[in-house]
Amino acid sequence: MAKSYDKKVRPREFQEGDLILKKILPLLGEDQSKWAPNYDGPYVVKKALSGGALLLSRMDEEDLVRPVNSNSVKKYYVVKNLFCIKRMIS
């Protein structure tokens, strides 16, 4: 069973300069509503450490104090407005 799982899993690798979103982890005793945001960001990867830890900084170059595990982040992709692209083509 582990063999078939390992075939399909893709390791997520982050490089310096990648834009990511960090998962907002609920604190004990804190009520989180259904419509509350799940991710915070975007952040910039300052350094990717071994073992999957990431050092992050905000877009205004302010560093976060603690490293973040790569399991609690996802890549942030900038999607260009299709309307503007169609307008530029025509």
> What percent of the chain has pLDDT above 70?
88
pLDDT at residue 80 is higher than 90: no
pLDDT at residue 85 is higher than 70: no
pLDDT band at 25 (very low <50, low <70, confident <90, very high): confident
- Is the pTM value of this prediction over 0.85? no
pLDDT band at 88 (very low <50, low <70, confident <90, very high): low
Task: Count CA atoms closer than 13 A to 49's CA, side-chain side.
Answer: 10
Question: How far is residue 74's CA from residue 36's CA, in Å, rounded to a whole number?
Answer: 18
